Structure 1
Amino acid sequence: MKEAAMRTLNRQIAIFVACLAFAAPSAAETVGSMTAYQTNIVRNNGGTMNVGAGVELGDQLRSNPTGLGMLVFRDESSAKIGPNTSLTIDEFVYNPGSGSGKIDIGMNSGLARFYGGQVSKGGVMQVATPHMVLGARGGIIEVLVAAGQTVGILRAGRMTCTMNGKRLVITNPGFACTSENGKLLTGYGGIDTFPILDSIDQIAGTGLPGAPGPGLDVSAICASALGGSLKICDSTDGALPGVVMEFPDSLTPPVGGGVDNGGCEGEGCCYPDCR
């Protein structure tokens, strides 16, 4: 009788301990770190980040008008953050043995360059904006979110652009995809469109260390074949207007609308899909 009571008590204790373990909040997962930094980038509306600062799952990173920094993830992928940019680390799964996993980054505004690491080769690395989802398969992609529009430019590797259930796969460096009135368009965007991202030592927009710059220069992409479809390239008296990037409150998946391959043919891109 005593043994049965003792077994019952032990079972109750085990169940209680298991419930406590289930209910206890887990520590936030560190997924990467800030390895280079120039002017202001803040985390979760808090303090300014410095070199070596850890980045955790769920963190929101925002840069100011002269912000510039480099974030490196555990799988050796990275993101170079440009001015007036808002990023959220929504998902990070990495299996070092197989190289598989998933990196999902939300991007509400601004400019960033993403370098694919191990996950981008064996798993899924994607950037979700309010207008489309862009995927990187190895290589390098640049993403601009401004003026109610998203532009993705391939610099190396392969890039997928998904909107309203339709997908473009771009394989030719310099080609880009963009959202335009509910449609998915593509064209040549330029191979060196945003030189602001080419050196972490440059203050935004100047090329010189130590002095704040004017922010983002979009003249290169506006001079490309894709420029005519971009709202940020609308001119006033022949001059580019000032570019103001805001921080939307939330990511809203694109809905409705159609899809257009924008006349893309040949090896530069495939429509609606290719492997």
Structure 2
Amino acid sequence: MGCDGMATPALSRKLILGLLSAAALSLPASAAVKVGEAVEVTLRVTGQDGEIARGGAIHRDERIRTNASGVGGFRFDDGTKLAIGPNSTVVIDRYVYAGGSTAKRLAIGATKGTLRWISGKSDHSAYKIRTPSGTLGVRGTAFDIYVGRNGVTAVTLLNGQARFCGASGCQTLTRRCEVIIARPGGAVTKPRGITRNLGLGVPAAEAFPFLAGTVRVPRGFLAGASCAGLAPPLRNNGFQQPTPSPEFNFPERQRDGRDNQ
């Protein structure tokens, strides 16, 4: 994969304000296929199609990027929820309606950063999440995903089951707070309990900020979910010291059939 293009000077001002950059969109809004909406907005943010507000549409082939303080909450038309953490890039690859409020196919590409997924009403076979290290299939599932800059991928299960397949095989997550790690072209580790050091190149609390409580989760996105292995260490007084949550910023987006990460 290539790298994201640099933000233009005009868009760089938005980065300073804690928002993400958005490149120009080549597809007119009238031609886009709506597949869901934004459900959590705390700041006014604009994109190529204008201001993104609560209830604003998201579309197939749309790319969503956040910077160091950007967080977004989205709900697809089948009820699937997707929260995107800071410094992240996600592409809505496919959405094929099955009729009613279900999807025959819902596929996204997670190429950088952190996301939380909560499955909706569609059959589990409809869901696929692509990462640089492999593909994740879900079964009535909630989980967090981290993708590092070198493509290393970690998945922590919150509910249900998930099966991750890489270049050298597959592993299935069945227990809450289990994690697997995969690298591009390499094997997938066996599931194990999450700990503060997973060998990802960053602390686990940075890879999974929603679980660690260092980034506020959008309302309705399993905000109370936590794993004991990520609990902050005890200080001398015997009490855990909480980490303040950063300002909740909402991202802009870019429509693109493929991410250039």
TM, length-normalised to structure 1: 0.58
Structure 2 unaligned runs (5+)?
1-29, 196-207, 220-228, 234-257
Q: 2:218 aligns with which of 183, 192, 200?
A: 200
1:37 aligns with 2:41: yes
The 1:122/1:185 distance shift into structure 2, 3 A limit, reads closer
Return the offset for 1:167. 1.6
> Whole-Å Cα distance in 1 between the matches of residues 64 and 194 of structure 2?
27
User: Does the CA contact (< 8 Å) of 2:77 and 2:101 recur in 1?
Assistant: no
Match of residue 138, structure 2, among 133, 136, 139: 136
The 2-side partners of 1:55 and 1:77 are apart by: 13
In the other structure, the counterpart of 1:177 is: 180
> Which of 151, 157, 167 is 1:154 aligned to?
157
Range moving further from structure 2, 85-94 or 176-185: 176-185
Mean alpha-carbon deviation: is it higher for 46-55 or for 141-150? 46-55
User: Residues 196, 136 of structure 1: CA spacing in aligned structure 2 closer, same or farther, 3 A cutoff?
Assistant: farther
Residues 1:58 and 2:76 are matched in the alignment: no
Alpha carbons 2:114, 2:144 under 8 Å: kept = yes
Q: Across the two proteins, how many residue pairs are aligned to each other? A: 183
Pairing 1:79–2:82 present: yes
Amino acid at match of 2:143: I
Cα contact 1:100–1:123 (8 A) shared by 2 = no
Unaligned runs of 5+ in 1: 1-25, 202-218, 224-247, 252-275
CA shift, 1:48, in A, is 6.2
The CA distance in 2 between the partners of 1:66 and 1:168, in whole Å, is: 32
TM-score, normalised by the number of residues in structure 2 = 0.61
Is contact 1:40–1:67 with CA below 8 Å preserved after alignment? Answer: no
Structure 1 residue 179 displacement after superposition: 1.2
What is the correspondence of 1:83-122 to structure 2 with a 5 Å cutoff? Answer: 83-96=86-99, 99=102, 101-119=104-122, 121-122=123-124
Structure (1/2) with the larger helix percentage? 1
CA RMSD of aligned residues (A): 3.2
What's the offset of the Cα at 1:97?
A: 5.1
Q: Where does residue 128 of structure 2 map in the other structure?
A: 126
Distance 1:58 1:189, change over 3 A: same
Q: 1:164 aligned to 2:167?
A: yes
Return the offset for 1:72: 0.3
Measured after TM superposition, the shift of residue 124 of structure 1 is 2.1
Q: In 2, distance between residues paired with 1:92 and 1:111?
A: 21
| SS in structure 1 at match of 2:171 | strand
**Aligned partners of 1:113 and 1:140 also within 8 Å:** yes
Distance 1:122 1:131, change over 3 A: closer
Question: Counterparts of 1:177-256 in structure 2 under 5 Å?
Answer: 177-180=180-183, 182-186=186-190, 187-189=192-194, 193-196=211-214, 199-200=217-218, 220=230, 250=260
AA in 2 matched with 1:171 = T
Match of 2:147 in 1: 145
- Partner-residue secondary structure (3-state), 1:123: helix
* Cα drift, residue 76 of structure 1: 0.3
Q: Deviations over 1:1-26 (max 9, x none)?
A: xxxxxxxxxxxxxxxxxxxxxxxxx9
Could you tell me how far apart the structure 1 residues matched to 2:35 and 2:109 are?
A: 15
Counterpart amino acid of residue 75 in structure 1: D
In structure 2, relative to structure 1, the CA distance for the partners of 1:47 and 1:98 (3 Å cut) is closer
* CA offsets 1:98-118 (integer angstroms, 9 cap, x no match): 945111101110111000011
